[in-house]
Amino acid sequence: MAYFPEITSPIQFEGKGSRNPLAFKYYEANRKIGSKTMAEHLRFAVCYWHTFRGVGSDPFGIGTMDRSWAAAPDPLQRAKDTMDAAFEFFTKLGVDLWCFHDTDISPEGNDLTEYAKNLDEIVAYAEEKQREHNVKLLWGTANLFSNPRYQAGASTNPDPHVFATAATQVKHALEATHRLGGAGYVFWGGREGYDTLWNTKMQQEREQFAALLHMAVAHKKKIGFDGPFYIEPKPKEPTKHQYDSDVAACLNFLREFDLMEHLKLNIETNHATLAGHSMQHELRSAREAGALGSIDANTGDELIGWDTDQFPTNLYLTTQIMLEVLAMGGFTTGGLNFDAKVRRQSHESVDLFYAHIGGMDAFARGLEIAHTIVEDGRLDRFVEERYSGWNGDLGQKILARTATLDECEAFALANGEPTRKSGRQEFLENLINEFM
Ligand code: XUL
Ligand code: CO
């Protein structure tokens, strides 16, 4: 049975002149940009939760989505139907990576024993599907935020019994990821924060979170999983404050608890916005710390101000993202995971195709533009020139931390008032527009 009958053959590249809304205008998987193909640069992944399990509910209304795969009354059958729909979608879209939470793919059951049994059965099913469709797993994760037991957090819960339950889920989700050949594993601490400090031991909760991560590192070694762990910053929502609130807070947390060598960051645009940063800022902060791992590709709405997880279509955004990805030398284990959902009014299954095609085209165009900016070299040359004074003797001594305040004073007195130089912001913004 086909769950997307309106898509009769895989989505094709038709080029910029095409008027077919179900074709790529820019994304041409095998076209080379520099030394790699577009597919190799972009490493697109489809997320399971929004795409196949999202119902379109919001705080004011129930779900709206028409999803033919969600009809079977038996939960395991429904999970298998959903997986059939997912792999049909990946193949028709032409994306060969996916991401999931344990509870997206498999029913939780009535207790942890049933949870583990169901997950086992569904992972076996997914293994077959991956083989049959030639699809790989970008990353897996555990949902430690939806079940009511996690209302006060998972690893950061005041009750160690809840910690142990969360740790059990992490163990199984990590083993499932390993079994499916996942390239990485994500920790997003949805409720690892607080709603009010009146009832919270903040430092202890941060220590508990670190303890879980250390246990996961030990377990990863034990089972032989060699992909990286990623931590995904987000400042709030659902909690008032999340401990891994932005890249800087995550880096501080990882350094404080000796986790730097074990985790990289998975950075999401709408989370950056909620933290009051640009995506460019968050990516730059992680990249320059050598900790940029993977990206959750989406965008927010300037006027709504929640985590709306919309599909990215803004070319300035995708260009800035791809400039950072190129600057780090490209993804290794990471990729661009569409952690994005169609709007509540886009309730037909075909809308999932429009959404992903648009996101993929926006990133393909962003990649082309970023590559041209790098090749052109004017932007890089401007920045190099702006800092060129630091190549001199004084600059080198300051950076090596061998200069003293006395030496600085001697230099300043001998050389008089410094000459001011324009930062040329408008000139550079115009330069970027040459490439858009
Ligand atoms: C929530 C979010 C998550 C993580 C995985 O805002 O981004 O879906 O990506 O748990
Ligand atoms: Co995400």
Catalytic site residue from 41, 50, 101, 277: 101
**Tens-digit pLDDT profile for residues 97-149:** 999 999 999 999 999 999 999 999 999 999 999 999 999 999 999 999 999 99
Give yes or no for residue 183 having a pLDDT over 90.
Answer: yes
DSSP assignment, residue 386? H
**pLDDT value, residue 1:** 78
b/e 127-146 (16+ beta carbons within 10 angstroms → b): eebbeeeebbbbbbbbbbbe
**Tens-digit pLDDT profile for residues 345-355:** 999 999 999 99
What whole-number distance in Å separates Cα of residue 406 and Cα of residue 340?
55
Q: How many CB atoms lie within 10 A of CB 359?
A: 23
What whole-number distance in Å separates Cα of residue 89 and Cα of residue 46?
9
Contacts of 109 (CB under 8 A, 6+ apart): 115, 117, 118
> What's the average model confidence in pLDDT over 151-164?
98
DSSP run (H or E) holding 201? none
Residue 340 CA, ligand 2 centroid: distance in Å = 8
Atom of ligand 1 nearest to the CA of 296: 9
> What's the average model confidence in pLDDT over 364-390?
98
**pLDDT value, residue 276:** 97
> Encoding tokens for residue 312?
């990215």
Residue 271 CA, ligand 2 centroid: distance in Å = 8
**pLDDT value, residue 240:** 97
Atom of ligand 1 nearest to the CA of 271: 6
Confidence of residue 281 (pLDDT cuts 50, 70, 90): very high
Residue 319 CA, ligand 1 centroid: distance in Å = 23
Q: Is the whole model's pTM more than 0.75, yes or no?
A: yes
> What's the average model confidence in pLDDT over 267-294?
98
How do beta strands 32-33 and 36-37 pair? antiparallel
What whole-number distance in Å separates Cα of residue 328 and Cα of residue 374?
13
> What's the average model confidence in pLDDT over 35-55?
98
**pLDDT value, residue 361:** 99
Catalytic site residue from 96, 104, 246, 309: 104
Active site residue 50: no
Give yes or no for residue 53 having a pLDDT over 90.
Answer: yes
What whole-number distance in Å separates Cα of residue 189 and Cα of residue 244?
7
Residue 274 CA, ligand 1 centroid: distance in Å = 13
Atom of ligand 1 nearest to the CA of 234: 6
3-state secondary structure of 4: coil
> What's the average model confidence in pLDDT over 245-259?
98
Question: What's the chain's average pLDDT?
Answer: 98
Quick one: what percent of the chain has pLDDT higher than 70? 100
Give yes or no for residue 305 having a pLDDT over 90.
Answer: no
3-state secondary structure of 229: strand
**pLDDT value, residue 101:** 98
DSSP run (H or E) holding 101? strand 97-101
- What's 12-376's CATH class? alpha beta
> What's the average model confidence in pLDDT over 221-230?
98
Pocket test for ligand 1, best of 103, 299, 339, 341 (most atoms within 8 A of CB): 339
> Encoding tokens for residue 15?
């080029």
Confidence of residue 332 (pLDDT cuts 50, 70, 90): very high
Atom of ligand 1 nearest to the CA of 188: 10
Residue 172 CA, ligand 2 centroid: distance in Å = 20
Within the chain, which residue ranges are assigned CATH 3.20.20.150? 12-376
Range list of H helices, 159-278 = 160-179, 202-223, 247-256, 269-274
CB 175 less than 6 A from any atom of ligand 1: no
User: Measuring from atom 5 of ligand 1, which residue has the nearest CA?
Assistant: 188
How do beta strands 184-187 and 36-37 pair? unpaired
